[in-house]
Structure 1
Amino acid sequence: MARTKEFDPDAALQSALELFWRRGYEATSVADLVEHLGIGRASLYATFGTKHELYLKALDRYSEATHPRLLTELSQPGPALPAVRALVRRFAAEAGAAEHRLTGCFLTNTAAELAPHDPRAARRVESDWDRLETLLHAALVRAREQGELPADRDPRALARMLLVLMQGIRIVGKASEDPARVRDAAEQALSLLDPGA
């Protein structure tokens, strides 16, 4: 008769996500995970596989939790540009907040730490960025169709500019103690959405 697991795998995955998010991949050892999750090494491997596989599962969970919120924010009926502006400003506010500086964004942290040399992590980062760019692009196309954005503006190029800006905001916000730096950058970029820009 198979022995039942003595822990909740879902709660353990969430706990692993929080530890990786706080410390990063390289600075988190299997011993750290065993201690933090309160489960044995054998149970950890049997349930999640290697440390790397557990990290990727945690990254998937983070993305799955983030995208429904972004979709809701950017696809509300009515004017589209206010939602785009609100999203960029939220990224800047979160990045400039003291508590956010300790962890930053788990996905952006992965992009900086693992993506350059880890193809599996890089694919997940690219996939996440593709989804965000698609959401921004759809909102900007809607804005142009509704007359909020001038007809000569390229929604795809603007979506890519905002994506890069938002990821940069997260990196700078994590390292800088001056929240005005990211706030001013966000406002300058958003001015490109103005009709007279």
Structure 2
Amino acid sequence: MGRTKEFDEEVVLQKAMELFWEQGYEKTSMSDLVEHMGIHRKSLYDTFGDKHSLYLKTIDHYRENTSERLTCVLSDTKTAGEGVKAIFDIMIHGSKECPWGCFIVNAATELALRDQEVEEKTDAVFKQTEGLIKELVLKGQKSGEFTCDLSADALADILHGTLLGVRVYTRTSANKEKLNHLADNFIQLLKCKN
């Protein structure tokens, strides 16, 4: 009879994700992971596989949590403009627990060009985010809040590119006030000119 696990997989996966997020894939050793996750090396291998397999699982974990969080935030907004502002706020201010920029942007910039599995996973997250943004833009166009001078696809692409840029900025010493100002200006550009 096998031993029961002495840890919660979700909890230790979250810990692994946070360590990869803070240090990056290359700088994180198996010893670092074992120590940070608080489990034995054998348990880590038995449950998650090697370092690369664990990393891919942390990308999936991030995707699930972020998708739920964005959906929740957007469901609490009344207008498309409020939704866009809420997304900018998440991107600019993140959370105190994870102040290391965007995990997916970090993964894409560190590994996607040389790791096909990471590229596929990060592309899937980007497409999912673009889909949410496009729905928001369409909502704004249908209500007359956002301009129809460009297609929803074009506006969603521009907005997503801007948000990715903001996420890169958050990894620097960029002034949050400047990023908030950028968000406000972008929302003004989206609005219909009556």
Is the TM-score greater than 0.5? yes
Q: Is 1:128 aligned to 2:122, yes or no?
A: no
1:154-191 Cα distance to aligned partner (Å, 9 max, x none):
11111111111111101112112422332233233222
Specify which of 110, 114, 121 is matched with residue 111 of structure 2: 114
Quick one: which amino acid aligns to residue 181 of structure 1? K
Quick one: which amino acid aligns to residue 142 of structure 2? E
Whole-angstrom distance in 1 between the partners of 2:151 and 2:42: 53
Moved over 4 A (4+): 75-78, 99-102
Query: In terms of mean alpha carbon deviation, does 147-156 or 122-131 score higher?
Result: 147-156
Q: Could you tell me the percent identity over the aligned residues?
A: 38
Gaps of 5+ in 2: none
Whole-angstrom distance in 1 between the partners of 2:64 and 2:98: 22
Whole-angstrom distance in 1 between the partners of 2:160 and 2:54: 27
2:183 equivalent in structure 1: 186
1:33-81 Cα distance to aligned partner (Å, 9 max, x none):
1122222222211110010110111111111011122123335685322
8 Å contact from structure 1 (residues 101, 175) kept in 2: no
8 Å contact from structure 2 (residues 22, 100) kept in 1: yes
2:173 equivalent in structure 1: 176
1:100-134 Cα distance to aligned partner (Å, 9 max, x none):
89511211111111112111111111111111111
Matches within 5 A, 1:131-150: 131-150=128-147
Query: In terms of mean alpha carbon deviation, does 4-13 or 70-79 score higher?
Result: 70-79
1:73–1:40: structure 2 CA closer, same or farther, 3 Å change rule? closer
Whole-angstrom distance in 2 between the partners of 1:10 and 1:77: 29
Query: In terms of mean alpha carbon deviation, does 183-192 or 30-39 score higher?
Result: 183-192
Measured on the aligned residues, the alpha-carbon RMSD in Å equals 2.3
1:36 equivalent in structure 2: 36
Gaps of 5+ in 1: none
How many pairs were matched up? 194
